[in-house]
Structure 1
Amino acid sequence: MQRTYFKQLEHADASLPLELTEVVNQLPFNEQGLLPVITQDATSKKALMLAWMNKTSLCQTMQTKRMTYWSRSRECLWIKGETSGHIQSLKSISFDCDGDAILCQVEQVGAACHTGRLDCFYLHVDLNKSRVFVSGKGDL
């Protein structure tokens, strides 16, 4: 049913907004009740991290404008920066064409990665050399 809903949106009138609650209720959360969320710096457009949201964390993020994820390892809500001080303030949110991925643009304060790096994508693949290079932590 959800796939049909998002398929119909391909032809929706762009001048007619949709009710947010209706769209959220149609999101195809997986068997664990989760959707992947890509977090991107709103200014630089750099991908900062990939995490997971359930319906509660999504709604809390939209309400508070503070990025709230679902921690699969701890099995609880996780407000980014609650312990580290490296907060993410929500600037915009989008859903992909199938409704099965979320893109959040944020203002990042401090490091996005738990390793202290600016982003979580610090393992860089060099296809020509068949190697992976690890970026340093760099200055915040």
Structure 2
Amino acid sequence: MAIENFDIEKIKFDDKGLVPCIVQDYVTKRVLTLAYMNRESLGITLEKGCTCFWSRSRQELWLKGATSGNFQHIVTMEADCDRDAILVQVVKDGPACHRGNDSCFDDSLYKDWQENKPARNVKDEI
């Protein structure tokens, strides 16, 4: 669904008035972040064509790129089948993560676990 056809009224916000929003790079398809939108930030997103979120930690609107210059320009927006999550595909001006990483998903827990997992003794597990 293109952004011009996105209907806020069909979105199911949770009991806190939020909906999870997965942001994905339009070109590479890499997941950039998971953030939350409320009705107001979703409206701003649709109006400006750039992502605007609700910061749960700061309890305020967060226009991505307003401080850093790393805006995320929306190409497509889709709701999932239950309409309680949103997928936004963007072209970005810079890193998505506040730590300067391309994606907020740069912390490989699985790789760390693989490198540090204890040796298994199958015989002891039986």
Query: Are the structure 2 counterparts of residues 130 and 36 from structure 1 closer, same or farther at C-alpha, using a change threshold of 3 Å?
Result: farther
Moved more, 67-76 or 24-33: 24-33
Any conservation in 1 of the 2:6–2:78 contact (CA below 8 Å)? no
Corresponding residue of 1:12? none
2:26 to 20, 25, 42: 42
**TM-score, structure 2 normalization:** 0.82
Size of the alignment, in residue pairs? Answer: 114
Distance in 1 of aligned mates of 2:12 and 2:64: 24
Query: Can you list the C-alpha shifts for 1:4-25, whole angstroms capped at 9, x where unaligned?
Result: xxxxxxxxxxxxx9xx899422
Deviation at 1:41, TM superposition (A): 0.5
Q: SS where residue 105 of structure 1 aligns? A: strand
| Pairing 1:58–2:46 present | no
**Which runs of no fewer than 5 residues in structure 2 stay unpaired?**
118-126
Q: Which has the higher helix share?
A: 2
Deviation at 1:27, TM superposition (A): 1.8
Query: Are the structure 2 counterparts of residues 21 and 107 from structure 1 closer, same or farther at C-alpha, using a change threshold of 3 Å?
Result: closer
Q: SS where residue 42 of structure 2 aligns? A: helix
% identical aligned pairs: 39
- When the two chains are superposed, the root-mean-square deviation of aligned CA atoms in Å is 2.4
Any conservation in 1 of the 2:6–2:77 contact (CA below 8 Å)? no
| Pairing 1:24–2:8 present | yes
**TM-score, structure 1 normalization:** 0.74
Deviation at 1:66, TM superposition (A): 1.1
**Which runs of no fewer than 5 residues in structure 1 stay unpaired?**
1-16, 133-140
Q: Which protein has greater RCO, CA pairs closer than 8 Å, 6+ apart?
A: 2
